[in-house]
Amino acid sequence: MSVVAYVDRAGSTLTNDWQLVSPGSVAHHRSEARREETRRDSKKRGLSLEEKREQMLQIFYESQGFYQLKDLEKLGPKKGVISQSVKDVVQSLVDDDLVFKDKIGTSVYFWSLSSRAGNQLRQVRMKLETELEAAKKRQADLQTQRELAKKGREDSSERESALNALNELQKKHKAIKEELDLYAQNDPAVYEEMSSVTEVAHKAVNRWTENIFSLQQWCSNTFPEAKERLEQAYAEVGIKEDLDYLD
C-alpha cells in the first residue's frame, strides 16, 4: 500500500512522510501544487490504481460525509475515476481499512475520516519499521555466522586434500550401497517377509476357492433346472472347470 496525500476536515494535508501541514503554509501550497500537477498529468495518461484510490479518498475527506455506492459512482468521474471502476477502487480502500462501510437498514454506506486514516498509516509505518529492524538484525546475525563458518576453512593444500579424500569416500559409499541393493533379494529379512506375504496370499486364494465352490453348490441345489445357464454364467466370469485348491 503506497502512501498518498490526504486532506483533513480543516484543510490540513497529511503528506507522504505522514506529517500534518497547516493550511496556508509554504509546505501546504507546495503539496497542493504537486497534487494539481499530478491530476493534470493523470488526465492525459489515465489514472493508476493508487491515483484512483487517492482521488476517491479526497471525496470522503473534503466532505466528511457518508455515501452509498451509487453516490460515489456519480462523484468518481468528477475526480477522474470512471464509474465502472469506482466499486473496485472503494473496495480496495475498505480492504486496507482506509474506508469503512456499514449496513444501515437495507442500504450500505461508506465513510472515511482523515484522522483515522492517518493513525492507520502510522500503525503501518511502525509495523514496517519494526520488521525492517528485525530483518537488519537477522542479516547481521547471518553475516556473523558466515564469518565464523569461514574460520578453519581457508583455502590450503591440506583442506584441498581433505576434500578430495571426502569425495572419494562418498563415491565408494555410493558404489557399496548400489551393490547392496543388487543383493537385497537375497537378504534373509527380505526373504522372510516375502515368505510371510506368500503364505497369507496362499491362504486367501484357497479361502476364496472354497467360497466359489460353496456358491456353486448352493446354486445347483437351488436351481437344478438351470444347470446349463449356470455353467455358462461361470464361464463368462472366468470360473473354469479345472478350478481347484492350491497345494
**pLDDT tens per residue, range 111-143:** 887 766 677 778 888 889 999 999 999 999 999
pLDDT at 12 over 80: no
Residue boundaries of the structural domains of the chain: 49-113, 115-152, 188-237
Q: How far apart are CA 93 and CA 89, in angstroms?
A: 7
**pTM of the predicted structure, to 2 decimals:** 0.35
What is the per-residue pLDDT for 109?
A: 93
Cell numbers 501541514: residue: 21
Angle 116-3-121 (CA atoms, 0-180°, nearest 5)?
30
Nearest to 54 by CA among 62, 127, 110: 62
pLDDT over 60 at 18, yes or no = no
- Indicate the SS3 state at residue 145: helix
Residue range 152-180: average pLDDT?
A: 86
pLDDT band of 40, cuts 50, 70, 90: low
Query: Percentage of residues in the chain with pLDDT exceeding 70?
Result: 80
Domain covering 49-113: architecture: Orthogonal Bundle (1.10)
Does 162 have pLDDT greater than 80?
yes
